[in-house]
Amino acid sequence: MTTFALVGAGPGLGLASARRFGRAGHRVALVSRSADNQRELVDQLAQEEIHARGFTADVLDPASLTRALTEAADALGPVEVLQFSPVPRGDFMKPVLETGAADLDAPLTFSVKAPVTCVRTVLPGMRELGRGTLLFVNGGSAVRPNPGVAGTSVAFAAESAYAAMLHDALAQESIHVAQLIIPGAISPDSERSSPEALAERLYGLHTERGAFRHYSEPMP
């Protein structure tokens, strides 16, 4: 049995993705900063007979991500699917004219160093399996820079470039890399951007293994 590792586990999209991949037979590794929140999610998933376990890490601490994902593979089985979808902090979103060099340190660690760390940790296991999927979830500023949220615009663009390069570099190894852009808010009432609809879309990106970039909604 293989593992679906979710970096950025929370009660919205994270829980919906854990349910979808768990129903498909994967064990679920929930990676986040809060052990208490992890326990709540594990309990909810257990009621649906989904085997999940929490692993504590901070996306701004690459060493903790390496440790958490290594422990997850040891405890649950090799990571076949990694979803990187943590929610950026509000202070990453300063206007461009108010953003200094130091203001980019945390966003770039969050959106570039953290994904690189996660990929390098799970990639050896995927290669041993002979298959794998890396899923990146970003907001619209990843493809259309927004001067009102300079930190995420710069960092998401860098994350997108890294993921696109991975898509090309790993295609011959049966390791698929895909990005899902969510232009607006995630809403329970949205036909295309509810947590459940997005989770189903992400599962489809894993199974269909097509192009790199996809959109939950048309960009306005």
**195 SS3 class:** helix
Domains of the chain: 3-215 (3.40.50.720)
pLDDT class of 63 with cuts at 50, 70, 90:
very high
pLDDT class of 28 with cuts at 50, 70, 90:
very high
pLDDT digits (tens, 9 = 90+) for 71-110: 999 999 999 999 999 999 888 889 999 999 999 999 999 9
E strands, the chain, in order:
3-7, 27-32, 52-56, 79-84, 132-139, 175-182, 213-215
Q: Which amino acid is at 19?
A: R
Instruction: Quote the CA–CA distance of 175 and 195 in Å, as a whole number.
Output: 25
Residues in the chain, total: 220
Average pLDDT over residues 146-152: 95
Half-sphere exposure of 203 (CA within 13 A, CB side): 19
Q: What was the pLDDT predicted at 1?
A: 87
Backbone angles phi, psi at 53, to 5 degrees: -150, 145
Enter the pTM of the model: 0.96
